[in-house]
Chain A
Amino acid sequence: MQSAECRVEEEWSSGLALRGPKRVKKIAQPVLAAALGLALGLALTWVAGENPWHVLCVLAKGAFGSGYDFGMTLFYTTPLVFTGLSVAVAFHAGLFNIGAEGQLTLGALAAAAVGAIWPALAWPLAPLFAGLAAIAAGTLWGAIPGWLRARRGSHEVINTIMLNFIAAGLASYVALYLLKNPASQNPETRPVGTGYSIHQFGLFGGAPVSLALPLALLAADAVWVLLWRTSLGFEIRAVGQSESAARAAGIDPGRIRIVALALAGGLAGLVGIGEVLGNAGRFKVGFSPEYGFMGIAVALLGRNQPGGVLGAALLFGALHKGTAELDLETEHVTRELSLVLQALIILAVSAEGLWSFRSKKAAAGAQTT
């Protein structure tokens, strides 16, 4: 029997007392699942008439081949970290946040609106202000389904999905009518003032890698501290584990749900900072290649742990960038392979969950005496 020295790192287990080898397994399993998904996807390209090795090379080169390529990979990774964290935080409270897409849309819209309405505002007040607006808008868009779930009992899955549509409609309306950019044919808002731009790193050959990237790392760290080192985080996890036990312990599950979804919304809203202040300088309708939904996959592969989310976001970011080259470099497969690969990886992760469930069941069977 191991003594009561429970190490911090061990606490992030899903409840199993993690000893050394089990911990390795916990990390190795999603990695193996991702590899399996990739292998299956490449096998599919072989069926389609491509040389899988060639496809893999194109992918790797596209994602990591040059400073610019790697920069673009990081550019795609950054919003996925935010949305992955968003889904993960909600998940710890036992909630399924399908609304990250709407939350990030409004976050970006709010940042752009601030920048378009007060273009004269100076650095550093301007990005700070716009950033806070992005967080506030996302938070609000998360709190609404949280409140509906807690006080009215309507399910957050339905409400977050519906709020995605409302957010998209709202954003289009603002971009096309209220803050329309007169100098452009595209559906977008007026550009933000020059004082709003945040620093872009020069290392990446012009790829828009901005301060949003370190912000994402900071957010992952903050989420870890929140979940594992604060009273609120403990309450969030307690509600997610067992609502009835949390309630009996004096925790108000409704309040915790609202807070958790609001936090999730705020995290998704942070996407707006990188997009508007670090890249486009305005809100463009349809700027997000569904970062919000990819965030669900990121959280799933990352096992809802901040560290895992970082890794998974990098993988999906690299896939998103790498597959972009397929249209040109191969004859039979297109960039939609990215979606196929994502799907297969998720499938493999879920199946991996099934395996560990079965071995857990066997272990549980062996433990009843």
Chain B
Amino acid sequence: MEVELRGLTKRFGEVVANAGVGLRVERGTIHGIIGENGAGKSTAMNLLYGLYRPDAGSILIRGETRSWASPAQAIAAGIGMVHQHFMLAGPYSALDNILLGAEPLRWGLIDRQAARARLDKLAAQYGLSMDWDRPVEQLPVGAQQRLEILKLLFRDASILILDEPTAVLTPQETQALFVNLKRLKAEGKTILLVTHKLKEVMTGTERVTVFRAGKVVAELETARTNPQELADLMVGRRVLLSLDVAPAKPRPEMAIEAADLGVAGTAGSRPRLSEVSFEVRRGEIVGVAGVEGNGQTELLQALLHPREPGCLSAGTVKVMGQDVSRWPAGRIRELGVAVIPEDRLQEGLLPDRPVSENFLLGLQRSPEFSRAGFLHTDRVRSAAHHAVDDYDVRPRDLTLSAGKLSGGNQQKLIIAREFQRQPSVLFATQPTRGVDVGAIEFIHRRIVRARDEGAGVLLVSSELDEILALSDRILVMYEGRIVAEFRRGEVSERELGLKMGGA
């Protein structure tokens, strides 16, 4: 065994993050580690990496019991970790980022040439191409991740821990990553892949360990399991991976009408949005499919902030039958418009503020919670209390800052808030990104329920499964235009993928 954890236990105050975790990983394999947010998988990895010290249990590397006082000792033993958020210095070149902290010295000076020669060899050996002289902040995210991996290889790591490596990658970059990981495996490296995406576990790993509530609940051979079993193990109950959605009964009223929307690009480039026209009726879900960066963000900005400079240069937007093209955003929202924003930490929440205040965000002038400019704090509190219960936001603590909730619970909080106004129009953008399997099912159900209660839903997602499962009609965006439209059941995943690629 290359890596073995025996009975690892770690407490933070009263919280037991790991309770007797056991794990065995063979040399030269990719081992999946899955579990919902907060299940303890990151804690276990941080124990292995020496960031924390275990309260009980032992760590064995190649059969030898080891204990580290700091990550430096773990690194010396050949363990490396790529964190979810990269640890890179933006303005420095790729080369300097690798040397940072491990500068090879010659006569007291940094020997860049020797380092570069060695790195070129490593890059060639593992097929990880790299532009060494570019500042890191100019590299695409996928390349930054390759750089993190090269950094570990440069430090002679033989055991690589990757924490949610695909969270920030595009589908193409994800594919490339897995090609690279297989190459690393073939060269004898051992890889621990921490993720909550079942697809990645199924395609990329040999064995998989499932965490739930601080414990290991199963260790399985990937070839002998399936996504359904893994999801059930992760959540601890039967999970519906694909929701059976009853057909919509659209009402005659229009929720959203967009006519010839256009957004100019920067001088000389193609428009970011052109001639986009569509309608969403109340009581139906219209999905917008497309590879990210094909105008979806611009479309939402045009619909929600039409008056702001640069957000809408041509066309008209009607919401609930009213021409809102010159309306400020706040007034549009008062028509009963709910929004699940694309980036929940940037646009959906005040991460440093308590849950109760986040629940109020956007509702601070609603008659329900305010009168003559003064807030009904008692009502806010009791409504937030109810919502947190109703939408199962955990933990049930209104004073906790929203940034401390897990991604799924943040999303549930946003949905609880947005549905508070009984929306007649719902804009849902990437509603399940970075969210646990259990929460995905929940969020999907709520969106369908909003539809059945009469909301017109515009769903923007880069997850094909999600688009196909929920949408009554599907619009495909490519280079700022709508290039195809389908009804539910009319299109296959493959065909949709081709349209998204501009075919």
Contact = CB atoms under 8 A, between A and B. Distances in A.
A125 interface: no
Contacts of A245: 346-350, 361
**Mostly helix, strand, loop or mixed at chain B's interface?**
mixed
B404 interface: yes
Contact of B396 (A3, A14, A230): A3
Contacts of A11: 354, 356-357
Given A4-B397, A245-B347, A250-B332, A230 B12 contact: no
B329 A231 contact: no
A231 B373 CA distance: 5
Nearest to A364: B404
Contact of A234 (B38, B339, B364, B401): B364
Given A8-B377, A368-B42, A231 B364 contact: yes
Interface in B273-331: 304-305, 328-331
A74 B17 CA distance: 53
A367 B13 CA distance: 10
Contacts of B381: 4, 6
B127 interface: no
B51 to A, nearest CB: 8
A289 interface: no
A251 B364 CA distance: 10
A329 interface: no
A214 B304 CA distance: 46
A15 B357 CA distance: 10
B384 A4 contact: yes
B374 interface: yes
B22 interface: no
Nearest to B396: A4
A234 B329 contact: no
Interface string B48-86: 000100000000000000000000000000000000000
Given A11-B357, A231-B365, A248 B396 contact: no
A252 B330 contact: yes
B347 A17 contact: no
B9 interface: no
B351 interface: yes
A238 B350 contact: yes
Interface string A237-277: 11001101111111110000000000000000000000000
A203 interface: no
Contacts of B259: none
B43 interface: yes
Contacts of A161: none
Size bin of chain A's contact surface:
35 or more
A242 B346 contact: yes
A277 to B, nearest CB: 29
Most buried by B among A3, A11, A244, A368: A368
B375 interface: yes
Contact of B397 (A2, A235, A244, A369): A2
Contact of B346 (A10, A17, A244, A252): A244
A24 interface: no
B264 interface: no
Contacts of A249: 333, 361-362
B370 A366 contact: no
Interface string A290-308: 0000000000000000000
B333 A250 contact: yes
Interface in B29-44: 38-40, 42-43
Contacts of A247: 305, 329, 347
Contacts of A232: 373
A10 B401 CA distance: 12
Given A4-B384, A231-B365, A17 B350 contact: no
A249 B388 CA distance: 19
Most buried by A among B12, B40, B350, B381: B350
Contacts of B401: 15-17
B12 A248 contact: no
Contacts of B341: 248
B377 A1 contact: no
Nearest to B365: A231
Contacts of B90: none
A54 interface: no
Contacts of A250: 328-334, 362
Contacts of A367: 12, 404
B387 to A, nearest CB: 11
B399 interface: yes
Nearest to A365: B51
A229 interface: yes
Interface in A322-349: none
Contact of A238 (B15, B354, B361, B385): B361
A208 B362 CA distance: 46
A32 B147 CA distance: 46
B152 interface: no
Contacts of B304: 248
A18 interface: yes
Given A1-B397, A4-B385, A234 B357 contact: yes
Contact of A369 (B40, B365, B374, B388): B40
Most buried by B among A3, A230, A250: A250
Nearest to A19: B399
B350 A6 contact: no
A16 B354 CA distance: 7
A238 to B, nearest CB: 6
Nearest to B349: A245
Given A4-B388, A248-B348, A367-B12, A17 B377 contact: no
A4 B13 CA distance: 21
Contacts of B51: 365
Interface in B394-423: 395-401, 403-404
Contacts of A229: 374-375, 377
Contacts of A4: 356, 381, 384-385, 388, 396-399
B393 to A, nearest CB: 10
A46 B334 CA distance: 65
Given A4-B397, A242-B346, A367-B12, A231 B354 contact: no
11 contacts: A4-B356, A4-B398, A6-B354, A17-B399, A231-B374, A241-B352, A247-B305, A248-B348, A250-B362, A367-B404, A369-B40
Given A229-B377, A241-B350, 12 more contacts: A3-B396, A3-B397, A4-B396, A4-B397, A6-B399, A10-B399, A11-B354, A15-B354, A231-B374, A247-B329, A251-B330, A366-B13
Interface of B: 12-13, 15, 17, 38-40, 42-43, 46, 51, 214, 304-305, 328-334, 339, 341, 346-354, 356-357, 360-362, 364-365, 370, 373-375, 377, 381, 384-385, 388, 395-401, 403-404
